[in-house]
Chain A
Amino acid sequence: MQPYDERQDRDCRRNSITAKRAQWLTLPAALALVVAACATPPAAPAQPQVPAATAPPAAAEATQPPAAPQPSGKFTYWGGLIFSDVANQMLVDKITEWGKARGIEVDVVMINQNETQQKVSAAVEAGTMPDALDMGTGLMQLLAKNGQLEPLDDVFKQIGEAHGGWLESAAKSVDPARYGGSVWGIPFGLSGNLINRRHDLLSAKGFNEAPKTWEELGQMAEAVNDPPKVYGMGFALSNVGDGNLTVTMLQTWGGRIADDQGKNCTIDSPETRTFMEWITGLYKKGLFPPGVTTWDGAGDNQAYQAGQAAFIANPGSVYLNLRDNDPELLAATRFSGLPAGPKLQLQPYGPNVRAIPVTSRYKDLAKDLLMYLADDEFMKEYYANAIYGPVLNSQVDFPVFKASPIHVGLLDVAKNGTPPAFPDVDNPAYAEFNANFLIPKMIQRVVVDNVSIEDAIKETQAACQAIYDKYK
């Protein structure tokens, strides 16, 4: 360094370079940052005249383009990209059709649901939220709590009235009493895990019916377990959303994450111990495939599609994949609801909603669109291609809910399912608890790290309480 600096000094002296003259060389990079920092935000377009189009969808479809002036700027919609390309395209086409009917230029962008949270986080800060978008109720809660969503009680009521009322499950999923005093999202489909089982293998062992309890499922899994060819239990025990199925399992054993007030953790309980003995016992018997504690979100799908798992829980993507690519395995597969535990039977549903950000320039138009999208004829076709259960009474009799085995199961979830988190309280602390995958981690501590069940429960109880304490 030193010899080099001496050369620099000599060089500088010889050429009499002044500081001012030298610094221009570094200006381009600095200039770009200054320009960015000083740039003024674009002026927000004025709220456009809104067409009087708040009629029910059936009527809305028939209306002529309103006489209102053309709004300035595009109407932007972020649709949730799902596995079915056909369903994705149907949504784009329907919204485009709505735009044409209303004389509005629309920009429908399908956002990968895996990235919605990141996109929305940046868009909220940058002021680039769309005029309406699809999301799950977890994100809906978060945005509503931060004042980022428009209340939609009126739209919810109108759509319900036009379609014979909301199913109880859909209504509960956006219940104002549970979620901050207003309806913040319009449900358009319920997701839920169904058990996918290898009927060909199970029937050969004499099991022709779906397992009624988790313990029965474990026995059936053990009967067909034939490693490394087939493993009985294809359930993720890793730090991914699928791994949180173990939370539902724990709750069916009578275990609870927190008390009825949703304030204090209650993981350290005899019910948790019994559940832990059951699931870690199955693991130690070799019923879970290798690597199950580090699976990604597709681990169970891949194990089943490869014919290496006898049971998995899946919301329907495996069914669609088998239907399109492996009819042979599909014929050997049966679908059923989640089994009961010793204390409870739980079948949690996951609502998907359409919401309108408070920053939307076209709030009334967006509400009109949400009603337009609830159109029965559209939803009939949409459900046939997507993997959702119904949300409205008028949708229950759609042919797909009688014809397709996975949709039959989803209809059952919609009719008889349990709300997210039940019997626990669905609050931000519970959401953070799940986001930290503490129950799968508790199992991993026993089966991977060889920690005792007792110690693993105590660790998890402490970690859980630390989360819940933040929200007191």
Chain B
Amino acid sequence: MLHKLSPSQKVLAYACLVLLAILILFPIYYMLTVSLKTNRDIYRVPSLLLPNPTLMNYVELLGRRGFAVNMRNSLIVAGSATVISVFISCLAAYSLVRLRYRGRTWIGRLILFSYLTPASLLFIPLAVIINRLQMGNTLHGLIFTYLTFAAPLSTWLLMGFFRNVPVDLEEQAMVDGATRLQALFRILLPVAAPGLVAVSVFTFTGAWNELLLALIFTTSPEIRTVPVALQYLITGDVFRWGLIMAGAVVAAVPVMTLYYLSQRFVVQGLAAGAVKT
């Protein structure tokens, strides 16, 4: 595309791209620089440069404050919620899309409805349920809770992806002797892989960033996830910006890595899910 442009048009195009990149990258740059400043410099030297760069925020965060434990907790919770949610959702979406039975349409709508209910309305009933299941202040309690939000969204998204896969592919497999489950796992899911990846990334990111429920359902420091640990760096009217930004940088690494590795699938998946056939 760019090679068809005149030199002046190319300059303009690159200038626009650079401007866009600056706009997008500036918050990340700012986050990084604040994380590398001393507490005094953050307030008293409002420079975008680093007059006295220091790793003290990272040292305190990962050392004395044990942020690695919070990272581990978030990886366990978000990873487990993603795997379980995508598995359940594959079965549910397949059922709703490919099979015909009474109430199917209503089940599909109810799934969406359950996802649309705000967490702020549900957190107290969920707290009661979690307590009755004796899963309060546990990581598996959080995983279970996140499934109640992640599974409906994943199911709804996967329904869109599955609809775009021609049913003839599965029929061919079944004519050749495959069972329905074999057709699902060996034919449909590989074809819908971009969609699965996209759904997995969304589910993981949602669980990774979730704050309200984690804040309510966990109390012990060793159970806290990353968003809760970051929230605990704000006490009263005091924001420890250096530590908060260092935590944000560290917490962004897994999600950024995930997006980097799966960006091609995510784009494909989004495009596929966006178009009905």
- A: which residues have CB within 8 A of B? 1, 4, 7-9, 11-12, 14-15, 17-19, 22-23, 25-26, 28-29, 32-33, 35-37, 39-42, 78, 81-83, 107, 109-115, 118-119, 121-123, 125-128, 242, 297-298, 300-302, 305-307, 314-315, 317, 321, 324-326, 329
Contacts and interface: CB of A to CB of B under 8 A. Distances in A.
Given A28-B88, A126-B127, A321 B238 contact: yes
23 contacts: A4-B276, A11-B99, A17-B100, A17-B101, A22-B100, A23-B95, A25-B92, A26-B107, A32-B148, A41-B132, A110-B221, A113-B235, A118-B215, A121-B124, A122-B217, A125-B128, A127-B128, A128-B127, A298-B238, A298-B239, A306-B43, A325-B39, A326-B43
Closest 6 CB pairs of A and B: A25-B95, A19-B101, A12-B100, A122-B127, A126-B131, A22-B99
Interface string B116-144: 00000001100111111110100000001
A317 B234 contact: no
B99 A112 contact: no
Contacts of A110: 221
A251 B46 CA distance: 37
Interface of B: 38-40, 43-44, 46, 88, 91-92, 94-102, 107, 123-124, 127-134, 136, 144, 147-148, 151, 155, 163, 167, 170-171, 174, 180, 212, 215-217, 219-221, 231-232, 234-239, 276-277
B136 A128 contact: yes
Contacts of A41: 131-132
Contacts, number: 161
Nearest to A303: B43
Contacts of B235: 81-83, 112-114
Residue from A107, A242, A326 having most chain B Cβ neighbours under 10 A: A326
Main secondary structure of the interface of A (DSSP, over half): helix
A119 B219 CA distance: 9
Contact of A125 (B40, B127, B136, B174): B127
A4 B220 CA distance: 50
B133 A119 contact: no
B6 to A, nearest CB: 44
Given A29-B88, A326-B40, A14 B133 contact: no
A119 B88 CA distance: 31
A126 B130 contact: yes
A436 to B, nearest CB: 18
Nearest to A118: B216
Contacts of B239: 298, 301-302
Given A11-B98, A82-B236, A112-B231, 5 more contacts: A22-B99, A40-B132, A83-B238, A113-B236, A125-B128
Nearest to A109: B219
A301 B95 contact: no
Contacts of A9: 100
A18 B39 CA distance: 67
Main secondary structure of the interface of B (DSSP, over half): helix
Contact of A7 (B95, B148, B167, B180): B167
Contacts of A111: 219
Contacts of B88: 28-29
B107 A112 contact: no
Nearest to B120: A118
Given A29-B151, A305-B43, A114 B236 contact: yes
Contact of A8 (B38, B46, B100, B236): B100
Contact of B133 (A4, A29, A35): A35
Contacts of B124: 121-122, 125-126
Contacts of A301: 237-239
Contacts of B107: 26
Nearest to B175: A14
A245 B180 CA distance: 68
A125 B215 CA distance: 16
B234 A112 contact: yes
A329 B129 CA distance: 51
Given A128-B127, A242-B237, A321 B39 contact: yes
Contact of B171 (A14, A35, A113, A326): A14
A26 B91 contact: yes
A128 B217 CA distance: 10
B187 to A, nearest CB: 13
B216 A25 contact: no
Contacts of A37: 129
Contacts of B237: 242, 297-298, 300-301, 314-315, 317
Nearest to A314: B237
A122 B44 contact: no
Contacts of B232: 81, 112
A118 B124 CA distance: 9
